[in-house]
Amino acid sequence: MKQLPEVNASFENLYGILIAPIRSKLLLAGIELGVFNHLSEPMTTDAVAAEIGSHPENTRLFLDGLAACNLVTKKDSTYRNTTTAQEFLVEGSQTYLGEMLMYQSQFTIGLNDLPKLVREGPPPPSPDMDVGSGEMWAQLAKSIANRMRANEVQRAVKIVSGLPEFPTLKRMLDLGCGPGLIGIAIVAAHPDMSGVIFDQPTVVKVAQAFVEEYGMDERIGVLSGDYTTDPIGGGYDLVWASNTLNFARDDMDSMTAKIYDSLSPGGVFISCADGLTHGRTKPDAMVLSMMPFALMGQDMCFDQGEIADSMLRVGFKSVRSRTLDTDWGPMDLDIGRRE
């Protein structure tokens, strides 16, 4: 008689992976429909359907799906935002992440024919896929501004204000600043510091608008260009670079040497960047989020310790490193000090 197999594993993870796209589609649909804007207080299915102009029964099913994803709660046939949805998915908030999530979801389009990418490798360069275009980076900078305000800025200020050198810092550079909010926040947290924010010309225009919005015009200046080839200024007591040095990875020592030379004696360089481990398979959030770019021929993620090693090679007298827990996964935090 044929024997049934002995099973020593569970396929729970496989099924979880399979239904993960349903979760993301529910989230993105909720953002597109503006559902979370109406659920700061409990509402019935019919009330929600009336607000967004939708089919009542499918609205109920959709809201049940959002509840299954822990984005809303359901009680006595009414629905209400969870704390996460209320903080990050209600339009008008400084921490609203809907635009960023919708924008960044587009990056997975390149995986629509994943087997072909695996078989044939990256496609030839195309103007339509120019990830280096100025307008693309300006749009990205706008989309991540609220993400920065949702813990990233506060975390950066805590790191810098905890430095023993903090009371004597006079001038800082936010290198590859994006919307510039980290530089703005660090300078604002110090009574005497001034700052410079540096990025591509189209991105600096976005950052300049935030400088004006937060009333920091007199304390923060701007520089624009390509930091891998253009001067970045000098006389800094602090250089901050987060999620940006990947573009210099092919010649990292030249970049860290340029940063070293821009610092005044005793100056501090802080880098916050990805750092892959376990044969470049972890952290999973970083590996998976960067997979679309890597498969298109742009595998720019750092290995853990790569930036710290470069700092030491170019002459930083000491480097202190630790893993930083963030909302998008573990990051490498490296703090180097110049003689």
Residue 316 three-state SS: coil
Give start and end residues of each alpha helix (H) in 34-120.
45-52, 56-68, 83-88, 98-105, 114-120
32's CB contacts (< 8 A; 6+ apart) are 102
Residue 102 has a pLDDT of 93
Rounded to whole angstroms, the Cα distance separating 211 from 213 reads 6
The answer to whether residue 7 is domain-embedded is no
Q: Cα 32 to chain center, whole Å?
A: 21
186, 275: one domain: yes
87: amino acid identity, one letter: E
95, 195: one domain: no
171, 252: one domain: yes
Average pLDDT over residues 8-20: 95
- Per-residue pLDDT at 224 exceeds 90: yes
271, 168: one domain: yes
The answer to whether residue 268 is domain-embedded is yes
Average pLDDT over residues 293-306: 92
Q: Determine contact, residues 59/67, Cβ cutoff 8 Å.
A: no
Average pLDDT over residues 24-28: 97
Residue range of the domain that includes 210:
135-140+152-337
Rounded to whole angstroms, the Cα distance separating 276 from 332 reads 9
Share of the chain above pLDDT 90, in %: 86
228, 317: one domain: yes
The answer to whether residue 321 is domain-embedded is yes
Residue 129 has a pLDDT of 47
160, 281: one domain: yes
pLDDT tens-digit profile of 116-155?
999 999 988 765 545 556 788 888 898 899 999 988 999 9
Contacts of 110-119 with C-beta under 8 Å, sequence gap 24+, read 110/292, 110/295, 110/296, 111/291, 111/292, 111/295, 114/295, 117/295, 117/296, 118/295
The answer to whether residue 238 is domain-embedded is yes
86, 178: one domain: no
Q: Determine contact, residues 66/72, Cβ cutoff 8 Å.
A: yes
The answer to whether residue 5 is domain-embedded is no
198, 75: one domain: no
Supply the mean pLDDT for the chain: 94
Query: How many domains, in total, are found in the chain?
Result: 2
227, 82: one domain: no
The H-or-E segment that residue 336 falls in is strand 329-337
Q: Write down the pTM of the prediction.
A: 0.90
162, 280: one domain: yes
CATH number for the domain that contains residue 51: 1.10.10.10
The answer to whether residue 99 is domain-embedded is yes
Q: Determine contact, residues 268/241, Cβ cutoff 8 Å.
A: no
Rounded to whole angstroms, the Cα distance separating 235 from 265 reads 9
The answer to whether residue 83 is domain-embedded is yes
CATH number for the domain that contains residue 258: 3.40.50.150
Residue 134 has a pLDDT of 78
176, 71: one domain: no
332, 265: one domain: yes
Order of all β-strands in the sheet with 236-242:
220-224, 194-199, 171-175, 236-242, 263-273, 329-337, 318-326
Rounded to whole angstroms, the Cα distance separating 116 from 99 reads 30
pLDDT tens-digit profile of 146-193?
999 988 999 999 999 999 999 999 999 999 999 999 999 999 999 999
E strands, 137-242, are: 171-175, 194-199, 220-224, 236-242
Rounded to whole angstroms, the Cα distance separating 69 from 67 reads 5
Residue 323 structure tokens: 């893993």
